[in-house]
């Protein structure tokens, strides 16, 4: 029996307990989770790529089956209403025997419009969870995406079961294959578009199957934080390469970033220094510590790097205190990872959803929560040379704090981001990415 099959029963037991508690708190009999349905493009008979409801795939590894439903009360075996139409236009995914089947009462739905015959007759005591509000209303649900119910479920989603942790390891394994193929393509002089194709081939993913649009950026394009243009042309010179790309396994995302220099130059030295900084931040992921505090520590460490490489005319402490480090590091240190790339629950202090604000000086943080064991994070410090932010800084009262000659020499490289995926255990951190020999 493989690790997924071995750990899945405990995963279902945990989800049942969470469901039972959440439903009891809201005086509900049960919840009905909709996998979702195809959304048509405006004025077209084609649909957008189907993306499953994360609450649905939390229970079982079905990510490509629309019009399916889960009926859960936390005590009885959950019911899966599985959509399996008779259709000669499209490939129908038949229900197969897998390790998870025995944990569900399975009912086959051949016509999506007939689902009400298989749902609870009286919807009064049931909550609908899903993205199709009009469908829920038409079926008779009044309790739709209850905030208190979702707050409880989202808060606890930050704690990953052993099954989920194994899915995340497998997702990292797939993504690392893609990253190694992408690096080889870069060093061979490929275009952004061709590097992307190398990544997809290695991961056996299509564009629609990656957890987010891959960032494949050469040279100055690496300064654009969410660059997804994929230039078809080969640049006159390969200087730098930033790839931020993940994979999916059973609905769980990986999110890995690497930056490479084409030559052994000053930029390569800067990458190595940022890698050291990144690993220090990983070591700082400790149960009981605020993620905000870890971000601020890393922010100060980036000020030290700017000083070491002679990008500043002032001390690192002065740079950090003035806020100019944000010009070079304008985003947060990382985020929770799981069923979604930016997984939910990152700003919650408790099960009620009490919000923990981020500091005013660091508004782009994606989590402000206290770090605990069995949580999974990305750590992704960055150092960029972004024209618009540099122009703003140069025109400000703090412009004299920068050694502009040295900074300007780095613009052609774009920037650096290095990102690993980490499981926090009580006794240690498990760096899933580094354990797969991706450096």
List, in sequence order, the alpha helices (H) in 261-384: 266-283, 291-308, 316-322, 325-328
pLDDT in tens, 247-296: 999 999 999 999 999 999 999 999 999 999 999 999 999 999 999 999 99
Residues of the chain with confidence (pLDDT) below 50? none
pLDDT in tens, 116-148: 999 999 999 999 999 999 999 999 999 999 999
Nearest residue to 417 (alpha-carbon basis) of 294, 342, 332 = 332
pLDDT at 311: 98
Name 153's Cβ contacts closer than 8 Å, sequence gap at least 6: 18, 22, 55
**Residue 232 DSSP SS3:** coil
Backbone angles phi, psi at 140, to 5 degrees: 105, 15
How far, in whole angstroms, is CA 326 from its chain's centroid? Answer: 23
DSSP state of 71: E
pTM score = 0.96
Sign of the C-alpha dihedral, residues 401, 405, 410, 411? positive
Question: Do the beta carbons of residue 393 and residue 327 sit within 8 Å?
Answer: yes
Largest CA distance in the chain: 72
Nearest residue to 345 (alpha-carbon basis) of 362, 368, 361, 363 = 368
Question: Do the beta carbons of residue 403 and residue 230 sit within 8 Å?
Answer: no
Name 97's Cβ contacts closer than 8 Å, sequence gap at least 6: none
pLDDT at 91: 76
Name 86's Cβ contacts closer than 8 Å, sequence gap at least 6: 92, 110
Q: What's the start-to-end Cα distance of the chain, in Å?
A: 32
**Residue 8 DSSP SS3:** helix
pLDDT at 1: 56
Q: Domains of the chain by range and CATH?
A: 3-157 (3.40.350.10), 162-436 (3.90.230.10)
Identify any residues that bridge with 420 across adjacent strands, giving them in sequence order.
Answer: 379
Question: Do the beta carbons of residue 88 and residue 102 sit within 8 Å?
Answer: no
Angle at 428 between CA 286 and CA 421, to 5 degrees: 80
């Amino acid at each position: 029996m493989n690790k997924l099959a071995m750990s899945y029963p405990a995963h279902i037991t945990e989800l049942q307990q969470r469901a039972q508690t959440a439903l009891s708190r809201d005086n509900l009999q049960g919840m009905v989770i909709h996998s979702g349905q195809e959304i048509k493009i405006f004025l077209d008979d084609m649909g957008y790529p189907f993306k499953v409801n994360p609450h649905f795939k939390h229970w079982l590894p079905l990510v490509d089956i629309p019009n399916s439903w889960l009926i859960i009360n936390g005590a009885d075996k959950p019911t899966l209403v599985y959509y399996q139409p008779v259709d000669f236009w499209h490939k129908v995914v038949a229900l197969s025997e897998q390790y998870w089947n025995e944990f569900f009462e399975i009912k086959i739905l051949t016509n999506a419009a007939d689902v009400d015959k298989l749902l609870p007759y009286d919807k009064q005591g049931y909550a609908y969870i899903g993205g199709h509000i009009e469908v829920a209303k038409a079926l008779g649900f009044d309790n739709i995406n209850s905030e208190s119910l979702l707050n409880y479920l989202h808060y606890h989603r930050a704690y990953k079961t052993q099954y989920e942790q194994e899915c995340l390891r497998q997702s990292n394994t797939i993504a690392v294959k893609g990253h190694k193929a992408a690096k080889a393509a870069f060093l061979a002089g490929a275009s952004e578009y061709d590097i992307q194709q190398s990544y997809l081939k290695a991961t056996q993913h299509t564009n629609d199957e990656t957890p987010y649009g891959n960032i494949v950026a050469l040279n100055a394009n690496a300064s654009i934080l969410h660059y997804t243009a994929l230039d078809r042309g080969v640049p006159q010179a390969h200087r730098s390469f930033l790839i931020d790309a993940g994979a999916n396994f059973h609905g769980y995302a990986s999110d890995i970033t690497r930056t490479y220099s084409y030559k052994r130059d000053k930029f390569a030295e800067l990458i190595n220094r940022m890698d050291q900084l990144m690993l220090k931040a990983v070591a700082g992921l400790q149960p009981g510590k605020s993620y905000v505090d870890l971000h601020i520590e890393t922010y100060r460490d980036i000020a030290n790097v700017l000083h070491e490489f002679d990008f500043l005319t002032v001390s690192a402490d002065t740079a950090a205190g003035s806020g100019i480090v944000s010009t070079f590091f304008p985003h947060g240190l990382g985020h929770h990872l799981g069923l979604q790339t930016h997984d939910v629950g990152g700003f919650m202090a408790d099960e009620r959803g009490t919000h923990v604000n981020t500091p005013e000086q660091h508004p782009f943080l994606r989590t402000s929560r206290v770090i605990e064991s069995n949580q999974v994070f990305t750590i992704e410090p960055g150092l960029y040379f972004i024209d618009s932010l540099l122009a703003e800084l140069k025109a400000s009262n703090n412009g004299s704090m920068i050694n502009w000659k040295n900074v300007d020499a780095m613009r052609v490289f774009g920037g650096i981001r290095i990102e690993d995926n980490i499981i926090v255990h009580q006794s240690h951190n498990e760096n899933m990415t580094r354990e797969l020999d991706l450096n």
